[in-house]
Amino acid sequence: MVKFKKADIRRFKRLLWSINPEKIDFEQDRIYIIHQVLAWGEPEDLRLLFKIYGTEEVKSVFFSHPRKVYTYPALRFVEILLGTKVDRSKYVSSIINSTS
C-alpha cells in the first residue's frame, strides 16, 4: 500500500459519506473504501484507489468481502475492470438493478 496524502482523503470524501473524514484510516477502513470507490467513483478516483492499494489488494478485498452496494451497471463495469464475472447476488444492491 502506498502512503496516502491529505489530498487523497479530500478526493474520496464525497464517496465515503458514512465515515467521518477526519477519522478515516486507509488500512482499517480499506474494505469500505475499496467498495465505495469501485461502486461510485469516477475514473480519477479509480486510478487513485489502485495507486493506494494496488491491483491485487483491490481484487482480494472485492472478492473476499462482497458488499451489496453496487447497481447492475456499476458491477458490470467492475467486472470489466477486474477482468472477471461475479455472482451478482453478492454485490447488486437491488433486485431492480439485477437485469441482464
In this predicted model, what pLDDT tens digit does every residue of 81-100 receive, in sequence order? 999 999 999 999 765 554 55
Rounded to 10 degrees, the C-alpha dihedral 94/49/61/26 comes to: -110
In this predicted model, what pLDDT tens digit does every residue of 14-58 receive, in sequence order? 888 788 877 888 889 999 999 999 999 999 999 999 999 999 999
Cα–chain center distance at 78: 9
Q: Could you tell me which residue, 17 or 77, shows the higher pLDDT?
A: 77
Residue 3 has pLDDT above 90, yes or no: no
Once rounded to an integer, what is the mean pLDDT over residues 58-68? Answer: 97
Residue 78 has pLDDT above 80, yes or no: yes
The whole-model pTM stands at: 0.84
Q: Which amino acid is at 46?
A: L
What is residue 23's predicted lDDT score, i.e. its pLDDT? 82
Instruction: For 80-89, give one letter per residue: b (16+ CB within 10 A) or e.
Output: eeeeeebebe
Number of alpha carbons in the 13 Å side-chain half-sphere of residue 55 = 3
Q: Where are the domains of the chain?
A: 6-98
